[in-house]
Every structure is written in C-alpha cells, then in structure tokens.
Structure 1
C-alpha cells in the first residue's frame, strides 16, 4: 500500500515537472520571437526635400540592426530638431518581415523666397531690410519674425514715429514663400515743448538737465525731439529721484501729453513738491580718531540745512574715506535716519566701528614682464612700513596710468589691490599692471594749419632702456630689447612743404630712481616763412627735478646756429629781415616749471596744467624771454550714452626783451594767429607790421585767452567744440592792455580715431569778431598728426 502511494506521488511530481518545462519552453520561444520582432530592420526618412537623407541620418544614433529603444529614438528626434530645418517631426513604426521599419516623418521649414514691406512711405525699404535679422533664402523661423517686428518698431521710434504698428505675415503665393511686414507708420511726431507746472524749488532748465528726452532744436541730428515711452518713464523716475535727493521726500509727479497738427507733441509735467525736509540733528557715535566736529566738516548734510537723500550714502563714503586715508581700511560706518514728530525734520545718526589701523608690509609688483620693478615703484607715493593711505593708493594708480607704459586699451592698465600680511593689522599692496606697446614706429604724415603738409618717419618709445642690449636679432624684432627703464626716446625725420624737422632725443625722467631727470637732444629745423627762410640746428641738455607731486622744474642749456635767408622771389623784404640775414650763434639757458594736475594727460576732463619758462641767451642773440601758459578743465555734466561736457579755459602770456640795446631779432619775436592761438586768423597773421611793406614782423609781447566748450557727439571719439579766442601780439611791455585786442569765435570738430593712437583730428571754423586792418584772416584751421609751429 505504501508503495502505491509513493508511486502515485512520484507520478504527480513528474507530471508537474513536465508541465513546467513545456510552459517555460513556450515562454522562451515567445520572448525570442518578440525580440526578433523588435529589431529595426530599416530606418527611413520621409518628407524631406531640400535637406538630404544622408545629412539627417548622420545626426541620429539609431542604426539598422539595433534593438528598438523608445528613449534613444526620442533623443534622435531632438537631434533632428536641433538641425533647425524642420517645423515638425513624427515617428512611425511599421512591422515588416523579420523586424520593424522606423520612419522619421519630417516637415521642412519654409524657405523665404521674398521679403516685402507694406505701408512704409516715409522710410525706404532698403533701410528697413538692414534692420531685420531674416534674409531671403533663410528658413522661416517665426520667433525671428517677432524679433524683427520689434527691431522695425524701434527703428521707426528713433525716426520720431512713436505710434508705429508692425505686423509680420508669412504666406504662399504662386508657389513662393513670401514674408510681408505690414507697417502703419502713423504721423511723424516731434516734441515741440516740455513744460513744467508746480515747480517752485527748481527752474525748468535745471529739471530738463535731469531728463534724457529733449525737444526738437538745432542741431536736429543731436536733438531730434524724439519721444520714446520707456525713456520718458525713466525720466520721470529721474525727476522724482532728483527731488527726493534734494529734500522733497513727498514729491508726486504726473504728466499729460497734447498734440497740435498731429505732429507736434507738447508734454506737460505736473509736480506736486510737498514740503522740503531739513536736518534737525547730526549725531556721530564711536569716533575716537577724529572729533565729531572734524567729521561733520566733511559731511554734506548740515544741521539746519536741507536733507539730501543721496547725501546719506555720500557722507557715509566720506567718513570711510577719511578713515581710509589714516589706514583704517576696515572701518565700518552705519547710517540711520529718523523723522521728527515736529514737522518735516530728520535726525541723522552715523555709527562708526573703527577697527584697527593697517600698515603696509610689502609692495608686490605683478604683470611686468618688460618694465622694471623700480620704474613702477618710483611712481608710487606710498612705501612699506607706513600707514595704508587710500588717497595715496588712488594717486599712485593715476600716476601709473599717465606714464603711458601700460596697455591703455585694456580699461585698467594699472590696478592696485590688497592682500592680508603676516599680521592682522598689516596688508600687502598688489600693484598689477598690463604691459602695453610703448614704442611706436610711424610711417605717415599729417597736415597742420600752421605747418602745412608734412611726412613723418619717426620712432617714439616712452619706456626705453638704453642699457638693455639685444642678445639676438629676434630679441630686437620681438621687442624684448631696449625696454623697461622708463626712458623716453624720440627719433624723427619729418619733411614738409613749409617745415622740415630732424630730432633725436633721449630723456631719463628719474636718474638712479631719484627725483632728478636728465635729457639730451639734437635738432635741426628748417622753416619757410613768407618773408624769409630760417634754419636752426643745435643741441640741448635738460636737467630737472620733481619738487612735489606732478610739479617739475628744469634747467636747459642750449647751443644752436640760426641761419636766416630772405626769400629770393620776394622783392619787398622787411628791414627787420634784412637786419638779421646771415648766420647767428646762440648760447642760452632756460629755466622752466611744469605742473600737471589733470585726470588724464592725453584726454583731460578735470584739473589744470601749466608751463612757464624763463630764457637767457647771449653771443649773437642777446635776449631774455619769459612765457607762461595755463589751462583748466571743468566737467559740467555727464549725458547718459553720450559722455561728459567739458569747459576748458586758459591763457598765454609772453614777453621778450633785448639785453644788448638792439632790437629783438625777428626770429625771436611773438606772433599770434592760427591753430592753438587765435583761430579765425591766419598763422602768424596777428602782429605788428612793417610800415613800408605791411608784412607781419612780430612783437615783443604776446597775450592770449582761450575758452572752449567740448560737447561729446559719440562718446570720446567724436566731439564738437565751441570756442572764443582773444589776444594779440604787440610791440612791448608798455602795451600790456586791452588795446588792439582781437577776438574770434567759432565751432570745431574733434575726431579721436582709435587706430591713430593718441592723435586727434581737429577742424575749426573761426570768425574774427574784432580785428585790425592789417590782420590776415583764415576761417578754417585743420590739424592732424601733430606738427609744431616753430
């Protein structure tokens, strides 16, 4: 019985095992069949006409024989889409014997056959096509159409069409794809007047200066009277900030716009000023280095005075600046102000955490692969061991920039930063410079109203080193020789129709890193005047010293030979020329002083400069000559996107006397007129004249006064100038008065083109307002490429 049960159970187990094997075999066969059916047997591209099938297949990963993977196919769709040629991509799967056929069905983007403009009556189609991004032959991209709508709209607004409407449309006509920009130009509107109402605190002119929008006035290419809504809204915010910064904290500003004849816009700005807030008390806490009264003197906010909102940050900065100059560079200054319960009054509190005074531990020079360390260090006004003075830091950075040794085009040719020293109260100063091209080999020329046309073959290097000899020919060609000592080398041959110049000069501005300078120059000038020809050849030695920051004195012995020859073709030669015809030896010494406190020696906008000299000469030329020239620069205001308006004024005074009892030779006298003197008059066209020949023969006295207003037209590259020149050249000291003063006024243009280096093209048109009968006038004066007026 037991065997029967065992046999029956064994049969059941065998039956179950057999059944399981049959099922498992069937599953494996099904999986194998399904796997075979998921193999991609063929990849097909459908719908492409311009883009080749090979180009599309090269962008995808899936290949015939691969197992179908939806994730990889999705990535391939993205890859085809990124080609930028299609508007739609669909994936289709078809079962074929042995596997699948994968189909990428693409819809190509339309190619633009033609671009049209509809409704543009005031602006030509040619100009509009230059503004848009899409071009004929490009694939149509609808997002670019929207961008181009905005560009056309902005262009019209710049042309004073503020109501312009632009709508882009794409269509198919006669089998061609056409994009049409429908334009409703609207009227051309210019701002005729901007009026303010309710302004009692400030005059209209003052408020207009805060705004970028201007009414139409001459010259219209600068002031077209264009209205831009975004700019106008920004101007309203600026007006509000201006009032708040001057104490009217509750100011409210609204506006209304009216039109006349559909093309003249009148803007009325309503101002509700409210009451002005005043400072009741100014309290300073935490000060130990300074007294409260000393710090209050540096503040713009004064007790009893108006509360200037912008002065809060400025006064905080001034306190930090005062501490920075004493080495407390970590000083923290916090400001808070509260309003008084009694009227429109404000209480201002400054809390100071002085921290520790910092000292200079080391000065590290970085970035100077050619300029010597000592050349950089001698421009620094601070030294290791002394307290860290932020004012000296700023001044040293300015001095380094003005040397011209470093890359002016980089924006920051010389930067000064700090790093922690070995102790908590010590700082290392990092002076980082960017080497620039200091040597310039020039083959060219120029034109000057005073010197005519001239050629120029010259080499100038402001960072020369006469001892740095080249080790190889490549060393010389690559600029790795004769560099880095801060010496100034000038070699020039400049032939011209009115003046020829030969010059060789070498100057060391800091001999042995001392405040003393030394220089030597050899020169030969040949100058043709109307009455005579003058040739001067000689040498000059210069010894100088920097007395204080940016103030130099020099003594310059000179020896020269001067040859005067009358013009052969001139029959009536002034007696003053005949008296000096021939050769003259001149030995002299000149004492000079030079100061330059401008923000930039190449394009000054702030500060002043002056140059004076006293010359004593003997041998054949016995004279004493004194001359002084000064100029001051004031930035008036800065117009956004245009630049700074600068007012400059100055004068020149010169007097020469003979020490031998004879007349001063004509070649040592003063003349006025021409570029750099009295514009509107000819070069040397203002001076005493010979009674017989009526030729200009010069005088012993020179007096000039000049004023110029510089207006930026395009940054610092194109500038307009409005000038008034006045002065005279007269017979002697007894004529120091305003008798026979000449006056001229006019306009000019200044072009500073980057690839011309520091050269500026100057064009001036001057009109004499006061003149003498014998004066020679010349309306235009043009100067490019330099050229002295020797």
Structure 2
C-alpha cells in the first residue's frame, strides 16, 4: 500500500514539474521576443495623463527619458520612481501605444487628494486648537495615509498624558462635492487616575521603599506634579525595576506580577503588585587571587560583598570597579580585575571569585593642556593636584576635574567643561595626561534689577568676570569688544552699581586667587553701602584688602584689614526712636582685622548635591568702634536618590552661630548687632523681625548672639532648573553670651520654589512661603519671601 502511494506521488510530482518547465520556457520566449521588439523602437512621444492640479511640465522635468530615446525598461522604471518621489500621487502606471515609426510612452497618474478641511469629532476634554497643534497633517497638504496613522498615535499620547487611558482614535477621509475632509473620530472614554499602588508578598521591604523604585505614582497634591497617570510602558519598566531592586539585594528568584481594579464609575484605578520573593542568596566563599600589592584583608575591606553576607547582584560590578579603583590610585591603571560567581547545588549560596592581574605601575610623563584659547596654561595647571614624574593617581584626576569645573572659567552647559584623558608616553609605563577644556563665558555684564525679601526692589548695573587679567590690555577696540582682552589670568573682577528703595550699593573688587601661581591669594575692594532701616539710616564707606593661603585642598585662610566710615542717622518719619538708635547717631571711624577660614568640599559650588561647605571668621575692630565678633556657618548636602530624567533629591542642613562683644566695656552698637528672620535666616518671619526689642518702642534693636538651624529638602521638577523645596527653619537673636541656650527659639516651616534660568547666569529665583510655628509676641512675621537677581543682604 505504501509502495503504491509513493509511486502515485512520484508520478504526480513529475507531471507538475514538466508543466512548470513548459510554462517557463514559453513565457521566456514570449518575453524575449517582446523586449527586443520594444527595445528596437524609438520613443516618439511622451504623454502624461490623469493630472488635475499638478502641471505636466513639472512631471516631465523630473523624468530622464526624452523623446527620441530608444526604449529602456530600466530607464522607465527609474522615471516612475522619480515621479513617485514628488509625493503628489497615489498611483503611477505605464502604458504604450504603437505608432508607425515608434512608441508613445504614457505615464498615467492618480493624484493624491488635497486636504480641504480637518475635523475632530468627540473631543470634549481637549480643545480642537490643542489637537490641531499636535497633528502633522494640515489643510492644503496632500493626503498621505501613513501620516494619518501617525497623527492617531499623537492624539492618543496627548490623551493618555491627560489620564484618558482608554481613548480610541480613528482617522478617515471623505470626499464630497470635490471637497476632501479628514475626520479624526475620538472616543475619549473616562479620565482614570491611579488611586492606590499596593504590594502583597513584600515581607522584606516596606511599601514606601518599593514605591521609590517606580516612576508610576498615585494621584496626590500637587496634581500638576503627581497627576496619577498610568502609562503602560512606563509601568512595565517599573515592574522590572522592582524585580531588579530585589535581585540587587539578594533575592535572585523574585517574581513580580500585577493586576488592576477599577472603581464602579471607572474614574480611579488601584494597582496591586504581587511579589513572590523566594529565598535570599548569601555569599558562602569570597576569594581574591593574584593580588600582591594589597593583602586580602585590605581588598576585602573595600568590598560590599562579604563572606556570610547577602549576595548583592549589583555589587558584582561595583566591587570589580572598586578593586580597579584601588589599583588606579596607586598608578596600576592597566590592572585587570575579573569576577566569577558560581551557585551552590545546596541551598541559596554563591561562591564569588575575583582574579587580579597586576601589571606595571604607570607614571605621569607630561601634562598637556588643550582647548584654552583664552585662559592661560598656568591658570589651569594650578588647579591640578597631580604633577609630571609622580605615580598616576586616578583619585587626583577626578578631584582635579571637580576643581576645574568649580572655577567657573569653562563652559558648564557643555556637560564636560574639563575632560582629562590619557595618552601613551615615551615608555610603556608612562602616560601623558591631556587636560581638554572648553572655554565658557566668564564675564557677565548685566543691566536689570531684582527683588529680595531682605533688600527690597533694586536696580543692577554690574559686571563680573571670574577669569579676568588686569595686565592683558587690548590691542585694538575690536579686541576689547570681542572679549579678547582683560581675560585669562583667573582673577575675579566685580563692579556693581545697584540703586534701590531700601538699599543702594556701589562696589569695585579685584581678587587674584593664586598670586604668581602660588597657594597665596590677594585682593582689594572699595565699597559704599547705603541702607534704610525702619528706625535709622546707615551709610558704610570703606576699603578692604585681603591676603590668604590655601592650607590644604579646598581649605583657605584669609586675613583682611578693613577701614570704614560709618554714619548713623535716625529716620525723620519715625515718631518713637529707640534709645539705642539715639545713642548710636553720628559718624564713626572703624579699623578692623578679620581672620577667616572657609572650606568647600561640594560637588558643585553653584548647585551642590553632595559634600559640605563651611566658613568661620573672627573680627577685631578698634578706633571708634571697639568690638570683637565671631561667626561660624556650615551646610551639609546629601543626595537621597536620583530619579532618571528628573534629577536628584537633595537634603541640605546646617546652621549659623555668631557672637558679638564690646571690647570697651560699653554695649555693642546697634549697627553691629545680630538679627534673625527673612531670606537666608528664619523664613516666615520678616527681615530682622526676630531679635530683642526696645522696651519703650517695641522696635527690634538686635542682639549679641545669633543661633540658626535650617533643613531643606530639594525636589527636582525639571532637572536642576526648576526645583521645589520643603524647609524647616529655627533660631533666634538674643541679648548676650549668657543666652547661648535653646530658650526662646523660633520655629517655622514651609515650601518654596527654586528657578535657575540660563540667561540669568548663576542667579536663582527663590520663592518661599513660611509659616511661623513657634513665635513671640514681639516678633514680626512675613509669610512670603522672594529673592530674584541676587544682591547683598546688608
């Protein structure tokens, strides 16, 4: 039976093959006969048919075949492609007509319809103008079906952003009385917001910890930041992030499922993530082979993975990098570190092996500087913490990059203002260090003004240059206008005229942060401040010089002699003047000497996200103002976590402590006392609204002790350009040294907004709303505080 069936199939196959062969041979003969027949003919005429709006001349100008040419199938095919590329047609066909002495070549085209009108049907929640701005097709365009499909997706994306997850969009075109109308039919569906995000099975981590791994958030205040929008693609990524978080903490067999439930009216949704944790893996054995420079204990002490501890999946790469880093700091930059881990057949245990291949130590042969067409080489080199001839230290290289970025000389908007790379030196174990900088705008001329809660409205005509060179005289007027003069030595020049209703400032200052490329700095300034307080007017004219030294990395000490003429005059429009103001009326000569120390170990001096900064000063003054003042201020910055595409969440906290004492046995004059309240102090209180008061008039008269503590949480809204702030401020200004205690402390809390606008340079617009929580009857409160455009708080 099987043999008979096989024979029948074989005969049928042979018959089909013979028929196919005969047909192919016949078709080939016909085709071969036809092509030579046409190819031998001359194209006598070319005709375009089917056009309505497009001129035949425009089509003929796009084709290469001409009348009188011999017929070529390839050339005609290429011309069809050329006509198609014009974008005006839905279909193109080629026809031939036999003439006596040749061929007529005919291109038959079907023109695309032109859109006469666009309609939106069913859009109730989003206005038609908004939808029109989103789509690609416009009236007057030729109708292209693929663009309609793209516009459907764009409209869907817009609705999904508005929390309409079930929106349906269908585009169609209709032609009536020769008029082509594109219609977008929209079924919006309900507006659905996320009400809850729940977890079950998460025995090892709290819900809040897992929510931090997700970009999907439930609806909460403020809704413009947390609208409770559900994006399926983003949510799927979030599920993977939760799994990755578990795996990075040792739960390698974790599984995460999810389901969604809707409210009866389908306006809210609850998401539940079901976590099956499994067993946590641990490190049974940890070994490092091939290391001679360091002991096993030294290397293992730097690792996150430890014997007997959890097996963190993300620690595998981090520990490998940490070992390379340890060798890199000692100059062994080519040392290879490989990691291998194996799973035990018994239980959730892992053996981890690191193999180290130590190679030669590298030394720095040359340090090259490139990209600095204006900044001098020595200005860049003095920021470097490494030198030719010493071993190559990768930690010093990273630190040098940070120091160069913090100078402000280079283009911060480029993302890499100062890159440091290696190139092979003259010997295998020697490297040249190439410092590549991108020059930025260091000089800023500003005509404008601003507003500060502490200083009121003010105008501002100022020029600041952080890379000034007083010896670089212009060779021509164009040289000066194009910024090719007075630049490149790293000196800091500031000139300011800032008139205002509450304060006027005139100041000129020049500082050389590294005299003759040494650790020593020098500077001088002239100033004239005029300030109108509620009870009196104060004018302060004088000069200050300073000399300093960098004691160690980022730690500076300065000595600043200063000579002032201070004039105090009571306000004529004040009915009751405090006795302390009357006692202080007049003109004073003041000669002072200030010893200050400051340190800045932040990652960025303009928008710090980690590190700390602090300043301490002691001032002793004589002549007609006999005082001694001490002040200390410090702030710590911590990055709590970073949300991709949003930015870093930063916690900043710190405080200020100050004491003023008279060295003549008399009271400290009112113009040298401390006050609290206002921007940069205790928000929610008025500027100088917290201090001891005059018993008779109730006016603030200042104190000899200042104590401030502040905590601020910065939340990125759009990178570091727009950030929200939540703060708690506390402190006081009190009468004397005996009041150094926590009695009479004020407390406030509130929210704020920080705007860093590029065209304002490094100025920040700060808006804060503070609510006093603990206050005294004599205090003056002010909920809103604004600061725009900088300005001294004198």
Q: Same fold by TM-score, threshold 0.5 exceeded?
A: yes
Please give the residue correspondences for 1:288-299 in structure 2 after superposition, counting only pairs within 5 Å: 288-299=292-303
Q: Residues of 2 paired with 1:236 and 1:317: CA distance?
A: 28
Q: Residues of 1 paired with 2:373 and 2:39: CA distance?
A: 70
Offset at 1:34?
8.4
Q: Alignment partner for residue 140 of structure 1, among 114, 138, 143?
A: 143
Offset at 1:136?
1.7
Q: 3-state DSSP class of the match of 2:584?
A: coil
Q: Residues of 1 paired with 2:618 and 2:90: CA distance?
A: 82
Please give the residue correspondences for 1:384-783 in structure 2 after superposition, counting only pairs within 5 Å: 384-783=388-787
Cα pair 2:39 2:71 within 8 Å, conserved:
no
Q: Residues of 2 paired with 1:587 and 1:36: CA distance?
A: 106
Q: For residues 215-273 of structure 1, what are the alpha-carbon distances to aligned partners after superposition, in whole Å with 9 as ceiling and x for unaligned? A: 11112112111112111211111111111111111112212221221222122211111
**Higher alpha-carbon deviation: 265-274 or 483-492:** 265-274
Map of 1:88 onto structure 2: 91
Cα pair 2:678 2:687 within 8 Å, conserved:
yes
**Higher alpha-carbon deviation: 96-105 or 301-310:** 96-105
Offset at 1:197?
1.2
Q: Residues of 1 paired with 2:196 and 2:222: CA distance?
A: 16
Offset at 1:665?
1.0
Q: 3-state DSSP class of the match of 2:398?
A: helix
**Higher alpha-carbon deviation: 191-200 or 287-296:** 191-200
Q: Residues of 1 paired with 2:59 and 2:537: CA distance?
A: 81
Cα pair 1:284 1:352 within 8 Å, conserved:
yes
Map of 2:42 onto structure 1: 39
Offset at 1:532?
0.9
Q: Residues of 2 paired with 1:383 and 1:37: CA distance?
A: 81
Q: Alignment partner for residue 312 of structure 1, among 301, 316, 320?
A: 316
Q: Residues of 2 paired with 1:501 and 1:67: CA distance?
A: 88
Cα pair 1:325 1:389 within 8 Å, conserved:
yes
Map of 1:9 onto structure 2: none
Offset at 1:37?
7.6
Q: For residues 502-560 of structure 1, what are the alpha-carbon distances to aligned partners after superposition, in whole Å with 9 as ceiling and x for unaligned? A: 11111000000000000010111111111111111111001000011111000000001
Q: Residues of 2 paired with 1:708 and 1:431: CA distance?
A: 36
Cα pair 1:36 1:99 within 8 Å, conserved:
no
1:125 aligns with 2:128: yes
Map of 2:340 onto structure 1: 336
Cα pair 1:37 1:100 within 8 Å, conserved:
no
Offset at 1:149?
1.2
Offset at 1:633?
0.6
Compared with structure 1, are the counterparts of its residues 78 and 777 closer, same or farther at alpha carbon in structure 2 (3 Å cutoff)?
same
Cα pair 2:639 2:648 within 8 Å, conserved:
yes
Q: Residues of 1 paired with 2:339 and 2:601: CA distance?
A: 34
Q: Residues of 1 paired with 2:38 and 2:727: CA distance?
A: 91
Q: Alignment partner for residue 173 of structure 1, among 172, 176, 185?
A: 176
Map of 2:208 onto structure 1: 205
Provide the alpha-carbon RMSD of the alignment: 1.5
Cα pair 2:39 2:72 within 8 Å, conserved:
no
Q: Residues of 2 paired with 1:573 and 1:40: CA distance?
A: 108
Q: Residues of 1 paired with 2:69 and 2:502: CA distance?
A: 86
Q: 3-state DSSP class of the match of 2:154?
A: helix
Q: Alignment partner for residue 64 of structure 2, among 61, 86, 91?
A: 61
Please give the residue correspondences for 1:100-119 in structure 2 after superposition, counting only pairs within 5 Å: 100-119=103-122
Cα pair 1:37 1:98 within 8 Å, conserved:
no
Offset at 1:98?
4.7
Q: Alignment partner for residue 378 of structure 2, among 374, 377, 380?
A: 374
Q: Residues of 2 paired with 1:691 and 1:381: CA distance?
A: 58
Offset at 1:572?
1.4
Q: 3-state DSSP class of the match of 1:579?
A: helix
Q: Residues of 2 paired with 1:374 and 1:176: CA distance?
A: 73
Offset at 1:471?
1.1
1:75 aligns with 2:70: no
Q: Which has the larger radius of gyration?
A: 1
Q: 3-state DSSP class of the match of 1:467?
A: coil
Cα pair 1:689 1:774 within 8 Å, conserved:
yes
1:283 aligns with 2:287: yes
Please give the residue correspondences for 1:186-335 in structure 2 after superposition, counting only pairs within 5 Å: 186-261=189-264, 262-335=266-339
Q: Residues of 2 paired with 1:59 and 1:667: CA distance?
A: 85
Cα pair 1:157 1:228 within 8 Å, conserved:
yes
**Higher alpha-carbon deviation: 185-194 or 724-733:** 185-194
Q: Residues of 2 paired with 1:355 and 1:277: CA distance?
A: 34
Q: Residues of 2 paired with 1:183 and 1:556: CA distance?
A: 72
Cα pair 1:703 1:727 within 8 Å, conserved:
yes
Cα pair 1:448 1:783 within 8 Å, conserved:
yes
Compared with structure 1, are the counterparts of its residues 174 and 301 closer, same or farther at alpha carbon in structure 2 (3 Å cutoff)?
same
Q: Residues of 2 paired with 1:43 and 1:356: CA distance?
A: 77
Offset at 1:97?
5.3
**Higher alpha-carbon deviation: 537-546 or 260-269:** 260-269
Q: Residues of 1 paired with 2:482 and 2:130: CA distance?
A: 47
**Higher alpha-carbon deviation: 96-105 or 770-779:** 96-105
Q: Residues of 2 paired with 1:578 and 1:61: CA distance?
A: 99
Offset at 1:395?
0.4
Q: Residues of 2 paired with 1:41 and 1:457: CA distance?
A: 79
Gaps of 5+ in 2: 1-35
Q: For residues 596-643 of structure 1, what are the alpha-carbon distances to aligned partners after superposition, in whole Å with 9 as ceiling and x for unaligned? A: 000000100111100111100000100000111111111111122221
Q: Residues of 2 paired with 1:97 and 1:450: CA distance?
A: 98
Offset at 1:148?
1.1
- Structure 2 length normalisation: TM-score? 0.94
Q: Alignment partner for residue 366 of structure 2, among 362, 366, 378?
A: 362
Q: 3-state DSSP class of the match of 1:544?
A: strand
Q: Residues of 2 paired with 1:241 and 1:45: CA distance?
A: 63
Offset at 1:579?
1.1
Q: Residues of 2 paired with 1:97 and 1:534: CA distance?
A: 109
Q: Residues of 1 paired with 2:489 and 2:54: CA distance?
A: 64
Q: Residues of 2 paired with 1:524 and 1:771: CA distance?
A: 35
Q: 3-state DSSP class of the match of 1:75?
A: helix
Q: Residues of 2 paired with 1:691 and 1:97: CA distance?
A: 122
Offset at 1:183?
1.9
Q: 3-state DSSP class of the match of 1:144?
A: helix
Q: 3-state DSSP class of the match of 2:521?
A: strand
Q: For residues 194-217 of structure 1, what are the alpha-carbon distances to aligned partners after superposition, in whole Å with 9 as ceiling and x for unaligned? A: 221111111111111111111111
**Higher alpha-carbon deviation: 189-198 or 619-628:** 189-198
Q: Residues of 2 paired with 1:52 and 1:399: CA distance?
A: 66
Offset at 1:110?
1.2
Cα pair 1:214 1:225 within 8 Å, conserved:
yes
Cα pair 1:196 1:269 within 8 Å, conserved:
yes
Cα pair 1:61 1:72 within 8 Å, conserved:
yes
Offset at 1:567?
1.1
Q: Residues of 1 paired with 2:669 and 2:69: CA distance?
A: 103
Q: Residues of 1 paired with 2:137 and 2:402: CA distance?
A: 48
Q: 3-state DSSP class of the match of 2:115?
A: coil
Q: Residues of 1 paired with 2:754 and 2:139: CA distance?
A: 41
Q: Residues of 2 paired with 1:574 and 1:56: CA distance?
A: 93
Offset at 1:35?
10
Offset at 1:774?
1.1
Cα pair 1:36 1:98 within 8 Å, conserved:
no
Cα pair 1:440 1:459 within 8 Å, conserved:
yes
Map of 2:28 onto structure 1: none
Q: Residues of 1 paired with 2:500 and 2:279: CA distance?
A: 69
Cα pair 1:670 1:698 within 8 Å, conserved:
yes
